[in-house]
Copies of this chain bind each other. A is one copy, B any other.
Amino acid sequence: MTEVIKESMFDQGVLAKETIEKLEWLSQFGKDPAGGVTRLLYSKEWVQVQHALKEWMESEGFEARFDEIGNLFGTLKGKNTTETVLTGSHVDSVKNGGIYDGPYGIVAGILALKHLKEKYGQPLRNIEVVSMAEEEGSRFPFTFWGSKNIVGLAKREDVEKITDFEGIPFVKAMEESGFSFRDEFKELRKDLKAFVEVHIEQGSVLETEKKSVGVVHSIVGQRRFTVEVIGEANHAGTTPMGYRKDAVYAASQMVFDIITMAREEGDPLVATVGKIEAQPNIVNVVPGKAIFTIDVRHTDKEAIISFTEQLTSRINEVSKEHGVETTIDMWMDADPVPMDATVVELIEKQCKENGLNYKLMHSGAGHDSQIFAPFVPTAMLFVPSLKGISHNPAEYTEPGDLAEGVKGLIGALYELGYK
């Protein structure tokens, strides 16, 4: 295949083959006997994969180095080394995760740098790929450890007292992997001029709309609630309907109304009741309590506020009608994160020029990009996820689409790094 690569280095078939080979290679680090990949922060497999990636970066001729906490950077040096265009994603996985979520962005980054170097030589600015230490929060109760350290958001105190599910302290796991806290008094990097992350969509919008690439203009904000409805537990046989304060009856109306309101509101609003439970949860007892969660997301902060006000007042109305007591606890309130308009425009421009079958869209899931965006001009590229499946061994993206994502990234990095 050597001739083909040389003759058409941005050829879809070639990029697809390279991407899949590298993803499969990486998936060996933390291969889970139960299926998929389990590669948790600072685990043996995690250490192995970061060192393997470092070797690959070096073999491609990039300068590779770890930061203090274990983010791995590989740099294609530019003529001007005071400015850096960064790409990459996270190397950790959830338990029994797929092989694409995270690593695809790293593989795409390394391949993009390689092909840019082969075709265009030294760039104007540094172009750097990062394999970030952690994003998922699957081992320790802390998310975005990798990106938050790069932008200076993660603090020693955030993780000093946390342990994993086996009781192993975060600090011990980090030190045994050969890493330590960053020096919080040291100045942060000032060279980062842009961050572009490639990631699988983890939804089915691109698949449904038959697009190969998504150009992400914003990441949704979210609010999460737990609603507790307190009625009165009673015997299911001996309590006439008129005597009841049935918590599940009230909750069923609340849930139905909330989801119906969200459907009427329409895209990009989504609302989900993911968890529900009744107490005492016995077939022949009228439930005295019902507890459910609500997850609301939108790209516009005002829209989230307005919808959650509506849902709160609807819940309170229903509660009153049913004569039950209801508490609504909002325990997450994250603002939407817009991507950088200039970077988005530039990515869109090159998608058009290079004939990519793309769509401008928002991200309904969280990504490292939302951590970078307030500090560095940031944008994202998505590729389709089969049936929207993610965090599951069945996670899959068509090879052709993987290649289109890499092409999109090559174009973006060319625009940002060579012009």
Q: Which residues of A does B touch, CB under 8 Å?
A: 201-205, 208, 220, 222, 224, 234-243, 246, 248-249, 251-253, 255-256, 259, 262-263, 266-278, 281-287, 290, 293, 295, 297, 363-366, 388, 390
Q: Which residues of B contact A283 (CB under 8 A)?
A: 224, 272, 274-275, 293, 295
Taken together as a complex, chains A and B put the C-alpha atoms of A266 and B241 apart, in Å, by 7
Enumerate chain B residues within 8 angstroms of A251, measured Cβ to Cβ. 252
| A–B Cβ pairs within 8 angstroms, 24 of them | A203-B234, A203-B235, A204-B239, A205-B240, A236-B274, A237-B366, A238-B388, A239-B270, A239-B388, A241-B263, A241-B267, A241-B269, A241-B271, A242-B267, A246-B259, A246-B272, A249-B255, A249-B259, A273-B278, A274-B278, A274-B284, A274-B287, A275-B278, A276-B281
- Interchain CA distance A251-B235 in the complex, whole Å: 23
Q: Which 8 pairs from chain A and chain B are nearest by CB? A: A203-B238, A237-B364, A236-B272, A238-B364, A252-B255, A252-B256, A283-B293, A249-B259
Number of copies: 2
A6 to B416, CA, bound (A): 106
Contact B276 A276 (CB under 8 A): yes
Give the distance to chain B from A191, nearest Cβ to Cβ, in Å.
32
Question: Given the complex of chains A and B, what is the CA–CA distance between A281 and B297 in angstroms?
Answer: 18
- Among residues of B, the one whose C-beta sits closest to the C-beta of A249 is B259
Partner of A270, one of B203, B241, B262: B241
Contacting pair B281 A236 (CB below 8 A)? no
Q: Give which listed residue, B241, B249, B269, B274, contacts A286 with CB less than 8 A.
A: B274
Chain B residues positioned under 8 Å from A246 (CB to CB): 259, 272-273
- B272 A286 Cβ-Cβ under 8 A: yes
Which B residues touch A262, using CB under 8 A?
Answer: 241
Q: Which residues of B contact A236 (CB under 8 A)?
A: 270, 272, 274, 295, 297, 364
Chain B min CB distance to A366 (Å): 8
> CB within 8 A of A276: which of B238, B242, B277, B295?
B277
Q: A339 CB to closest chain B CB, in angstroms? A: 16
Contact, CB under 8 Å: B266 / A234: no
Chain B residue nearest to A251 in the complex (CB): B252
Complex CA–CA separation, A278 to B274 (angstroms): 7
CB proximity of A197 to chain B, nearest CB, Å: 15
Distance in Å: Cβ of A82 to nearest Cβ of chain B = 37
Contacts of A241 in B (CB 8 A): 259, 262-263, 266-267, 269-271
Q: State whether B388 touches A234 (Cβ < 8 A).
A: yes
Docked pose: A298 CA to B271 CA in angstroms = 38
A252-B259, A255-B248 in contact; A239/B364 too (CB < 8 A)? yes
Nearest CB on B from A311, distance (A): 14
User: What distance in Å separates the Cβ of A230 from its nearest Cβ neighbour in chain B?
Assistant: 15
CB distance from A253 to the nearest CB of B (A): 5
In the complex, are the beta carbons of A274 and B285 less than 8 A apart? yes
The residue that A235 contacts in the complex, of B208, B290, B365, with Cβ under 8 A, is B365
Cβ–Cβ < 8 Å partners of A275 in chain B = 278, 281-283
Determine the residue in chain B with the shortest Cβ distance to A248: B273
Q: Is the CB of A203 within 8 A of B282?
A: no
Closest Cβ of chain B to A356, distance in Å, is 20
Most chain B CB within a 10 A radius of its CB, from A251, A272, A281, A284: A272
